[in-house]
Amino acid sequence: MTSEFTPMEQQMMLKDFTDQQKMLFMGQYESVKKDPGTILVLSVLFGFSGIDRFMLGDMGLGIAKLLTFGGCGIWAIVDWFTAKSRANAYNRAKAQEVYQAIKMTTS
């Protein structure tokens, strides 16, 4: 299970950034991150439609889940237990993307 991207980890990641770069990172990261609780609620309420997968950028799996009605419900139930860890993994990946983009454009 992927744990949440903590403020301590953010500080470690941004230790070499200027204050302006840190503000830029936080603004961009806050705009793209997904709340794990929200993803879980969407998965429970609308899991059969694949909306939780679409929200996390898993378009192919979202379409497959939609067309199979959540794998006849089985896939939807499995996703209830993995929704938070998938959201946390998504957030970590987005943090890395934002970090790399800022580092490349301000170097």
- Cα–Cα distances in angstroms (integers) from residue 101 to residues 46, 51, 59, 61, 105, in the given order: 33, 28, 23, 27, 6
For residue range 41-98, what is the model confidence (pLDDT) as tens digits? 999 999 999 999 999 999 999 999 999 998 899 999 999 999 999 999 999 999 999 9
Stated pTM of the model: 0.88
What is the predicted pLDDT for the residue at 75?
92
Return the domain boundaries, the chain.
35-106
What is the predicted pLDDT for the residue at 6?
83
What is the predicted pLDDT for the residue at 5?
79
